[in-house]
Chain A
Amino acid sequence: MARIVVLGAGVAGHTAAMHAKRRLGRAHEVIVVSPNANWNWIPSNIWVGVGKMTAKQVTFPLAPVYKRLGIEYHQAKAVGLLPEGDATDATGAVDIEYTDADRRGQPARLRYDYLINATGPKLRFDLTPGLGPDGHSVSVCTSGHATQASAALDEVIARMKAGRRQTLVVGMGHGACTCEGAAFEYVFNVDHVLREQGVRELADVIYLTNEHELGDFGVGGMVFSQKSGQVTSEQWMQSLFTERGIRVILQAHVTEVAEGVVHYEQIDGTVAQQAFDFAMLLPPFRGVALPTVDRAGTDIADKLFAANGFMKVDADYAAKPYEEWSAKDWPRTYESPVFPNVFAVGIAFAPPHAISRPYQTPSGAPVAPAPPRTGMPSGTQGKVVAQTVVDRIKHNNPTAPARTASMTAMGAACIASIGAGLRTGAAATITMSPIVPDREHFPETGRDPKSTFGEIGLAGHWLKRLLHTLFIYKAKARPGWWLIPE
């Protein structure tokens, strides 16, 4: 009987665990370790953040789902990795510490034949002084944070209804942030809600970002082929921001968030501050690097984890300038090069470099969007790695060829809400293929013009609302869940 341990129950981990269990049945064990009791459909946290949904609508408890599927579930955080086993047993192991009420703080050691690291990001609010819910800004990264953001927004709306002008700043709380798409969604949803409440005229709404130009989204921007010709995502976004009267601060690294003031630098050397009454600023991500030892107890963490805490996989990590970045640098199998029974998927794997060209301020601070790993590629990676592991178990061959899911050969759809409402809502629906540009196959723009597309409209909002229902249905493992694509 083989044991697969999955660290993390987000999109990548939960998908991996469900597909693995479905294919292996009762003959083998699938174990999930997650510090969270609930699954969260993160894309809808934006709507929680503007009061259009509650936290309950975007989360559900994991334990009953895993029990029904026959997946062993430990509500715990991983605190150590022993890929060579220990003195008593050469089988790989992960040390965990329980986070549920009954066993909080208690340790355990779980053995594995295969490990899928899907821990997601560590939210590093601490990298910018004053950033985050414990500081002076709000966040929408978790359903809890988003609930707080909604309450703060309500206070600001109340002040505007009393006749007071308010300044709202939304964007990136550090020059190396990712998830620009989420910040974009949030600023437009805030704008939409302010209009619904009849107070938009009293609001200065500002989008503060580390992107070099609007429409970059951490993927180097896109070029859409339309009937009228080609249009860049920058042109597309500029017209949208202008239409909605949202001011933009580009190329910025936030250095500090004080009470009511955000301090930032820009790549042209500008050092400035922006006063605010409400600020939603996303944190930079790092990986959840685990203390890792060999059988003798010697630290070998740097063999598995990059300096940024993400796990190294089959990518080319040689440092090289932007001009030498290539699609070939990106991983295909997500297998650790050191331990072939260890995989990292979703945000947990270490990308070889960014996708967008990196910049820095004259003082050396990064203004370099990190590469996004959104739901679609994360879910696909989780499923494909699960299939690799299942192949190896079923054929009793630990070195059977791995299946592939390269972001340079995979497309993604991003539906960015710009306002919720069955008749009044809208979303920007974007497809791009491949996610990571491949200039060898597509010399002109790096992407396939037939599959790289953008459209704004009410239909996009209906689609996003449908995906909310569909993916929660799928994550709850309701009948036919496997028929819903990642």
Chain B
Amino acid sequence: MPNTSMQQTSTATSAKEARRRSGLVRQAFRFVVLNLKILRLTRQHH
């Protein structure tokens, strides 16, 4: 008989980990965007 409880826990942990990683991936993308926005500011003529 398959151990559904353990499978469910494992699935929940994997889902949480996947969400955490996609959050980090999104933040990495935002990190690049923020750097570019600031670099653009430094090139202004004043």
A431 to B43, CA, bound (A): 14
User: Are B46 and A404 closer than 8 Å at their CB atoms?
Assistant: yes
Q: Does A380 contact B (CB under 8 A)?
A: yes
Q: Does A112 contact B (CB under 8 A)?
A: no
User: Are B31 and A453 closer than 8 Å at their CB atoms?
Assistant: no
**Residue from B23, B27, B38 in contact with A413 in the complex, judged by beta carbons closer than 8 Å:** B38
User: Are A459 and B41 closer than 8 Å at their CB atoms?
Assistant: no
A29 to B18, CA, bound (A): 59
Residue interface mask A402-414, B partner, CB < 8 A = 1: 0011100111110
User: Are A453 and B37 closer than 8 Å at their CB atoms?
Assistant: yes
Q: Which of B18-41 contact A (CB under 8 A)?
A: 23-24, 27-28, 30-31, 33-35, 37-41
Q: A431-B37, A431-B41 are contacts. A410–B30 as well, Cβ < 8 Å?
A: no
Q: A451-B41, A463-B35 are contacts. A409–B30 as well, Cβ < 8 Å?
A: no
**Residue from A384, A431, A463 in contact with B31 in the complex, judged by beta carbons closer than 8 Å:** A463
**Residue from A384, A411, A457 in contact with B41 in the complex, judged by beta carbons closer than 8 Å:** A411
Prevailing SS type, chain B contact patch:
helix
User: Are B41 and A462 closer than 8 Å at their CB atoms?
Assistant: no
Q: A433-B41, A451-B41 are contacts. A459–B46 as well, Cβ < 8 Å?
A: no
Cβ of B16 to closest chain A Cβ, rounded Å: 14
Chain A residues with CB under 8 A of B34: 429, 455, 459-460, 463
Write the chain B residue with the least CB distance to A411.
B41
Q: Which of A457-484 contact B (CB under 8 A)?
A: 457-460, 462-463
User: Are B44 and A431 closer than 8 Å at their CB atoms?
Assistant: no
**Residue from B23, B27, B30, B38 in contact with A431 in the complex, judged by beta carbons closer than 8 Å:** B38
A462 to B37, CA, bound (A): 15
Chain A residues with CB under 8 A of B44: 409-411, 433
Cβ of A132 to closest chain B Cβ, rounded Å: 34
A410 to B40, CA, bound (A): 12
A84 to B39, CA, bound (A): 42
Chain B residues with CB under 8 A of A163: none
Chain A residues with CB under 8 A of B46: 380, 384, 404-406, 409-410
Q: Does A485 contact B (CB under 8 A)?
A: yes
User: Are B38 and A459 closer than 8 Å at their CB atoms?
Assistant: no
Chain B residues with CB under 8 A of A462: 27, 31
Write the chain B residue with the least CB distance to A451.
B41
Q: Does A486 contact B (CB under 8 A)?
A: yes
Residue interface mask A437-463, B partner, CB < 8 A = 1: 000000000000001010101111011
A463 to B32, CA, bound (A): 9
Chain A residues with CB under 8 A of B31: 459, 462-463
Write the chain A residue with the least CB distance to B23.
A458
Cβ of B22 to closest chain A Cβ, rounded Å: 13
Cβ of A406 to closest chain B Cβ, rounded Å: 6
A429 to B37, CA, bound (A): 10
User: Are B42 and A485 closer than 8 Å at their CB atoms?
Assistant: yes
Residue interface mask B2-23, A partner, CB < 8 A = 1: 0000000000000000000001
Chain A residues with CB under 8 A of B37: 413, 431, 453
User: Are A457 and B38 closer than 8 Å at their CB atoms?
Assistant: no
Write the chain B residue with the least CB distance to A381.
B46
User: Are B27 and A457 closer than 8 Å at their CB atoms?
Assistant: yes
Chain B residues with CB under 8 A of A431: 37-38, 41
Interfacial residues, chain A to chain B (CB-CB below 8 A): 380, 384, 404-406, 409-413, 423, 429, 431, 433, 451, 453, 455, 457-460, 462-463, 485-486
Question: What 17 additional pairs, Cβ within 8 angstroms, besides A409-B44, A412-B41, A451-B40?
Answer: A404-B46, A405-B46, A411-B44, A413-B41, A423-B24, A431-B37, A431-B41, A453-B37, A455-B34, A458-B24, A458-B27, A459-B33, A462-B31, A463-B31, A463-B35, A485-B42, A486-B42
16 A/B residue pairs, CB under 8 Å, sorted by A:
A405-B46, A409-B44, A410-B46, A411-B41, A429-B34, A431-B38, A451-B40, A451-B41, A455-B30, A455-B34, A457-B27, A457-B30, A458-B27, A459-B33, A459-B34, A485-B39
